[in-house]
Chains A and B, each alone.
Chain A
């Protein structure tokens, strides 16, 4: 007997849901990419050059080089969160797109899996776009940076799944403000995006180290600097576990909301 807590059963139909979102995105691809790129770039170059000129080197690299890796991760997190919150919520609640899809031979597990993969893919594109720009400016030169790409995708999966939990619980768009102010923004400040987490008080460091964005930053920054990250397995497992558990929880909540 299937219950709301049953593990996900995903079929290839999930790809039809992914392709639906891709087709919409293709109509708006250029403004979408530019829009996603503009904001982090302004921060990167504004802080990187402006603030960076006042700062000593961090771990032997210029501040803007340090910030580049943080920006890639933060941008991936933001893109995944926006897609899994606002966009998925409009499809679920406002446009009733999910409802239409569920009348076809597509399960809610497929719909959610399609949304999850889509948000992660879009986030990956966002992270990659920044990676390309910082590489073009010469802040990233090592081939090891290519290994950051799967980490970016995994980061996208983790934050897309977390976002889908919030979407499955949300009564309206206003609800997302809590998630951003209580979770996303603190992570930006605590997880080593703008400054090394070592600067934080010890207790806060411990909390920050457990947050998913910290694991992403700990992997991506060394790779962009051409170094092999420490504790690779730990960080990968933490991101994978976040993605997997969060997706399952999002599915439980979505089943409760839509299949009651």
Chain B
């Protein structure tokens, strides 16, 4: 049984289709990512999967239960880390976990027994009695993760779990998520950080305008969707160079501000670099293509606000 299976999912708000026919299925123990720009419909997909809003069309099975019909029963085996912290500011660290356990019908004694283990996992040992206001952003995020584990869920839904965190805090969260995967949990996460997705996700879907525009393992997506090498050309002369001769040297060329992104095959790299070396007004950066290149190719470079 798949921890989550979604087919033909659609949802409109005020005539605008926010989720426009989405299908995906998670395998047990995998980390599956939904990547997309702001407003792509990622959060709405999560809300639909949790049964917090009814789809206009399509079916959802969450941990084997039909959603929204039996969403409440399904949520017994699911943990959620929301995009914005909604920990209880009136409670201590330990009370946050204790009270959240009650929402699952877990006896206080049982949650109390698990609190040390949960806080240890979250790197918050010894903080039981700390007030929420004394925690840093990273600590709050980790406490939110610990709270999502209070019911020992099979599946975790994480909505942009590391947005707003510093690199140290992000690495710690990634570390913990890998540990959860190693323990057999299944994870669905949304993100717009490509490094996060590349690092954590076994498979991912790139979502834009409510549709999945590409799906696969990060490496496969890069191999399938985009030229293997990228030469970034920047400097004052870059726009002029891109407009006149750039296209001759690359399979595909995109200009963003003062930087020209040349997408090239393995066979073209050396010739392009040699050509650029003769231009004193241009500086270059050569690197292999990554997930961000795929993302930008598929979802475009214009801002999404």
Cross-interface CB contact of B50 among A24, A103, A260, cutoff 8 Å: A103
- Pair B89/A95 contact, Cβ less than 8 Å: yes
Q: Are A24 and B104 in contact (CB under 8 A)?
A: no
A-side contacts of B50, CB under 8 Å: 103
Q: In the complex the two chains form, is A23's CB within 8 Å of B95's CB?
A: yes
B82 within 8 A of A: yes
CA of A103 to CA of B84, assembled, Å: 13
Question: Looking at chain B, what size class is its interface with the partner chain?
Answer: 20 to 34
Q: Which residue of B is nearest A260, CB measured?
A: B53
Distance in angstroms from A134 CB to nearest chain B CB is 32
With contacts defined as CB atoms under 8 Å apart, how many contacts are there between chain A and chain B in the complex? 64
Complex interface: chain A residues within 8 A of B103 (CB): 13, 16-17, 101, 104-106
Distance to closest chain A CB from B131 (angstroms): 11
In the complex, the answer to whether B86 meets A96 with C-beta atoms within 8 Å is: yes
**Which one of A19, A104, A106 has the greatest number of beta carbons of chain B within 10 Å?**
A104
**CB of B219 within 8 A of chain A?**
no
List B contacts of A24 (CB < 8 A): 88, 90-91
Is A198 at the interface (CB under 8 A from chain B)?
no
| B102, A20: Cβ atoms closer than 8 Å | yes
Interchain CA distance A95-B53 in the complex, whole Å: 20
Supposing A23-B95, A105-B103, A260-B13 touch, asked if A95 and B76 sit within 8 A by C-beta, the answer is no
Task: Assess the A96–B100 pair: CB atoms within 8 A.
Answer: no
Q: Is A227 an interface residue (CB 8 A)?
A: no
Q: Are B102 and A16 in contact (CB under 8 A)?
A: yes
- Give the residues in chain A near B72, CB-CB below 8 Å: 105-107
- B99 contacts the other chain (Cβ, under 8 Å)? yes
Question: Which of A12, A97, A104 is in CB contact (< 8 Å) with B75?
Answer: A104
Residue of B84, B86, B99, B105 near A20 (CB, 8 A) is B99
Assembly CA distance A106 to B73 (angstroms): 9
User: Could you tell me the distance between the alpha carbons of A19 and B75 in the complex, rounded to whole angstroms?
Assistant: 21
Judge if B80 is at the interface, Cβ distance under 8 Å.
yes
Contact of B87 with A by CB under 8 A: yes
Q: Which of B73-112 contact A (CB under 8 A)?
A: 73, 75-76, 80, 82, 84, 86-91, 95, 99-100, 102-105
B contact residues around A17 at 8 Å (CB): 103
Complex Cα gap A2–B72 (Å): 14
A19 vs B84: C-alpha distance when bound (angstroms): 24
How far is A19 from B13 in the complex, measured between Cα atoms in Å?
Answer: 35
Contact code string A83-110 (vs B, CB < 8 Å = 1, else 0): 0000000000001110111111111000
CB pair B91 A23 closer than 8 Å: yes
**A105 engages B88 (CB within 8 Å):** no
Set of chain B residues within 8 Å of A54, measured between Cβ atoms: none
- Return B95 CB to nearest CB of chain A, in Å: 7
Contacts of A105 in B (CB 8 A): 72-73, 75-76, 103-105
Q: How far is the CA of A27 from the CA of B99 in the complex (A)?
A: 15
Is A177 close to B, CB under 8 A?
no
A residues near B105, Cβ cutoff 8 Å? 12-13, 16, 105
Per-residue A-contact encoding for B44-62, CB less than 8 Å = 1, 0 else: 0000001011100000000
Residue pair A259, B76 in contact (C-beta under 8 Å): no
Minimal Cβ-Cβ distance residue in A for B92: A27
Query: Which of A12, A96, A97, A104 makes the CB contact (< 8 A) with B104?
Result: A104
Task: Write the A172-184 contact mask toward B (1 if CB under 8 angstroms, else 0).
Answer: 0000000000000
A105 and B74 CA atoms in complex are apart in Å by: 8
State in angstroms the CA–CA spacing of A13 and B101 once bound together. 11
CB distance from A82 to the nearest CB of B (A): 17
Q: Is the CB of A100 within 8 A of B82?
A: yes
A12 to B103, CA, bound (A): 10
How far is the CB of A115 from the nearest CB of chain B, in Å?
A: 14
What is the chain A residue whose CB lies nearest that of B75? A105
Would you call A259 and B86 a contact (CB within 8 A)? Answer: no
Contact residues, A1-21 vs B (CB, 8 A): 2, 12-13, 16-17, 19-20
Measured CA separation A17–B99 after assembly (Å): 9
For A101, list chain B residues within 8 Å (CB).
103
14 contacts between A and B (CB under 8 A): A2-B68, A13-B103, A20-B88, A20-B99, A23-B95, A23-B99, A27-B90, A96-B82, A97-B86, A100-B87, A104-B75, A104-B104, A105-B72, A105-B105
Q: A105-B75, A105-B76 are in contact. List 6 more A-B contacts (CB 8 A).
A: A17-B103, A20-B88, A27-B90, A97-B86, A99-B86, A104-B75
Name A's B-contacting residues (CB within 8 A).
2, 12-13, 16-17, 19-20, 23-24, 27, 95-97, 99-107, 259-260
Instruction: List the 6 closest A-B pairs by CB distance, nearest first.
Output: A104-B103, A96-B86, A103-B80, A16-B102, A100-B86, A105-B75
